[in-house]
Structure 1
Amino acid sequence: MFTILSAAMAPGFALMSFFYLKDRFDSKPFSIVFRTFIMGALLVFPIMFIQYAFETEGVLQYPLTKSFLLSAGLEEFFKWFIFLYAVYKQDHFEGRYDGIVYGVSISLGFATVENILYLLANGVELAFLRALYPVSSHALFGVIMGYYMGKGKTDIHKKSMYIIWLALVTPVFLHGLYDYILEAWKSTWLYTLTPFMIILWMIAIRKVKQANMASADIIPIEQNKWKA
């Protein structure tokens, strides 16, 4: 049991630490980040219940609808909803990279509990593949969602509501593609999903750099006023 729990939780905390430490200017208190992690973790149970109900009734079970609506649509909507109503309007959400940190923490909270349940049911032998694909993909969807949430919060001269909706639509589309690959190419998914994950990592790292560059345009100005 301890081995399974450790193997299931390690990827989530490792990825959370990676993106948390990528904040070059104004890291948030870890207590706040952990709170959003817990919010994401609690989402697993209502979402699993809804998905189980649809599966039992045989509704939306075609590969396309199951991937984009029942899986990606439900999961990313609830993450986005929690972000919008529990984080977005808070005073501690100040910069674009803050959005990435909170987006990743919500997503990895969800992914970690999901991973624990999966490994308890199927065995620790799948821990490496689970870390490499499902857990990592949730983190990367969180980066993209958080980036646009941060952009919507800080870019006061642009249409913030459009950007906030982009924070939902983009992860749903990418998550849907991820799941559709698994549904449509069940025997050869590895050959298609691996390049998809590489591209997803490239997009996410680019968003990380863009968010830090946006912070760099603001932070030095604020720090200069304290110089002698």
Structure 2
Amino acid sequence: MFFYLIFLWRLDKNERESFKNVFRHFLWGAFGAVILGVIFSFFFTSTIQMFITNENILAFTGAVFIAPVVEETTKGIYLLRTSQKNYFDNITDGLVYGGAIGLGFGMTENLMYFIQYDETFIQWATLVFTRSVFSAVMHAIATATFGAFLAKAKFTNSGKKYVYPVIGLILAMSFHFIWNLTLSLEFTYLVGIIFMIFLIVSFLIIFNLSIKEEEKLISNELFEELNLMGFVSGENKIGNIFQRRIIFFENKIKNKQFLNFATKLAFRKFQARNSSGKQQEIYLSEIEIQRENIKKLIEKKS
């Protein structure tokens, strides 16, 4: 799971989050969400037992219906808090933080399954493979989906901002429901594997598209800063303002610190336009801070 976490964290190319923050979300998934999940699952299962006495039906109901609702809710609670933080900037952040929570939850859930499983070694090894490759990743993608919709809602000023989180949570629960359903029915196991492969490929494509959209946003936001902050003289032209990890000064010296300041400036400008009230004031203040940082850096280089 730690390998998955590092891979997910490094997918963010433009404004990579603090690994400390990402790991904190991983820990919430591994402990906080699991503990709450056990408590609420016990409550719902105990309630349903008053109406369903057949153990097989009860187990099926718990896995297919109760687990997706309870677990996606307990994982998502922490994301709701995170979405209000200033460092929660964009859809990519939602994918990263949500994915980290899901991986943490998947790790603990897998350990519980591995320890309790008492069948043959071959069956145990198959369980380890399936849950490590697919189940934990399902948790990551499901919660990442909710995180992406929370980010979309945060920077939407229309009434849709209240609809996006609901859509994200329903999708997360649906992914979870489909996976658990295919595992619960013997003849649909292969369908579940195909579904997960499709989900993983789709997630990677969406993540890549999110990064590319960020690059366009950064390029557009920085364009109006060029003359304002003196990045370009009348005699020189910069054909590509932003290119993944390279922004050039007039003298075309690559500077990682400059890239960091300029990227934050671009995001804050976009966020200020798509927010209001106290949050907008915070973003406007950060815009001036990043502009000042860039000016000082340019003066130091010149």
Q: For residues 172-206 of structure 1, give each alpha carbon's deviation from its aligned partner in whole angstroms, at most 9, with x where no partner exists.
A: 111111112222x2x23431111111221132123
Amino acid at match of 2:86: D
What is the distance in 1 between the residues matched to 2:130 and 2:213?
34
What aligned pairs does 1:50-199 form with structure 2 within 5 A after superposition? 50-55=40-45, 58=49, 61=57, 65-67=61-63, 69-84=65-80, 86-122=81-117, 125=125, 126-156=127-157, 159-183=160-184, 185=185, 187-199=186-198
What is the distance in 1 between the residues matched to 2:16 and 2:156?
20
The gaps in structure 1 that reach 5 residues or longer are 1-11
Q: For residues 134-190 of structure 1, give each alpha carbon's deviation from its aligned partner in whole angstroms, at most 9, with x where no partner exists.
A: 11111221232222222222344572111111111111111111112222x2x2343
Distance 1:165 1:68, change over 3 A: farther
Structure 1 residue 223: Cα displacement: 5.3
Instruction: Classify the secondary structure of the residue corresponding to 2:163.
Output: helix
Q: For residues 105-161 of structure 1, give each alpha carbon's deviation from its aligned partner in whole angstroms, at most 9, with x where no partner exists.
A: 111111111112222222763322211221111122123222222222234457211
Distance 1:62 1:177, change over 3 A: farther
Does 63-72 or 136-145 show the bigger shift? Answer: 63-72
What is the distance in 1 between the residues matched to 2:68 and 2:200?
18
Structure 1 residue 219: Cα displacement: 2.2
What is the distance in 2 between the residues matched to 1:122 and 1:108?
21
What is the distance in 2 between the residues matched to 1:190 and 1:69?
18
Structure 1 residue 64: Cα displacement: 7.3
Question: TM-score scaled by structure 1?
Answer: 0.83
Distance 1:152 1:198, change over 3 A: same
Task: Return the structure number with greater relative CO, CA threshold 8 A, min gap 6.
Answer: 1
What is the distance in 1 between the residues matched to 2:12 and 2:148?
13
Q: Is the 8 A contact 2:94 2:147 kept in 1?
A: yes
What is the distance in 1 between the residues matched to 2:10 and 2:201?
18
Q: Is the 8 A contact 1:96 1:154 kept in 2?
A: no
Question: TM-score scaled by structure 2?
Answer: 0.64
Instruction: Classify the secondary structure of the residue corresponding to 1:91.
Output: coil
What is the distance in 1 between the residues matched to 2:158 and 2:202?
24
What is the distance in 1 between the residues matched to 2:114 and 2:206?
31
Instruction: Classify the secondary structure of the residue corresponding to 2:102.
Output: helix
Amino acid at match of 2:35: F
Q: Is the 8 A contact 1:144 1:170 kept in 2?
A: yes
What is the distance in 2 between the residues matched to 1:67 and 1:38?
23
Give the RMSD, CA atoms, in angstroms: 2.4
Amino acid at match of 2:218: I
Q: Is the 8 A contact 2:102 2:137 kept in 1?
A: no
What is the distance in 2 between the residues matched to 1:15 and 1:152?
27
What is the distance in 1 between the residues matched to 2:156 and 2:92?
13
Q: Is the 8 A contact 2:76 2:143 kept in 1?
A: no
Identical amino acids, percent of aligned pairs = 22
